[in-house]
Amino acid sequence: MKHETTMGQAFNTAHGLPPKTGVSLPAKSSRDILESMRAALQAYEPEAKMSNLDYVREMFDLLEKKLKADAKYAKLAELMKEAGIDVKDSALKTMMSKIRAERKVQLVKCPCCQSKVPESQIGEQYRDEISVQAGAVDGSAA
């Protein structure tokens, strides 16, 4: 009579573990499998990849301070390259301008409460009203 060995038994034998004797674990249900997968996915944290713009955003305040102290974009780009961030001085200048624009907060009058709030807090449904109000304030709307 031929004796068949399962893959699990072969693995245990290869690693010097005692063979299991007729005790089999119950098969996992679909719900158990899903919960196990959910837990594994929630615990998984992929390594965050940063773009050059992300690096510049993180270092923006320091870069801005150095620029105000008469540092040149070329020198700052060179220092960044030495640190492993390959960016040209013209690209650095463009990124800095973009970040400055992002940080610029425009206050507008809220259509519901009439108080001044950052424009980003106003819902999409009020965008048209804000445009009309801004035109009237500028004097361009009659």
Assess if residue 4 is contained within a domain: no
89 located within any domain: yes
As a whole number of angstroms, the distance between CA 124 and CA 128 comes to: 8
97 plus 111 within the same structural domain = no
Is 132 inside a domain boundary? yes
81 shares a domain with 118:
no
Tens-digit pLDDT profile for residues 45-94: 888 888 999 999 999 999 999 999 999 999 999 999 999 999 999 999 99
**pTM of the entire predicted model:** 0.48
Structural domain count, the chain: 2
For residues 82 and 124, membership in a common domain is answered with no
* Residue 30 forms part of a structural domain: no
Q: Rounded to whole angstroms, how far apart are CA atoms 113 and 24?
A: 68
**Tell me: the pLDDT tens digits for 3-30?**
566 656 665 666 666 666 655 556 678 8
Domain that holds residue 59: 52-103
Q: What is the pLDDT of residues 96-122, one digit of tens each?
A: 999 998 888 777 777 778 787 777 666
Residue with tokens 């409460």: 113
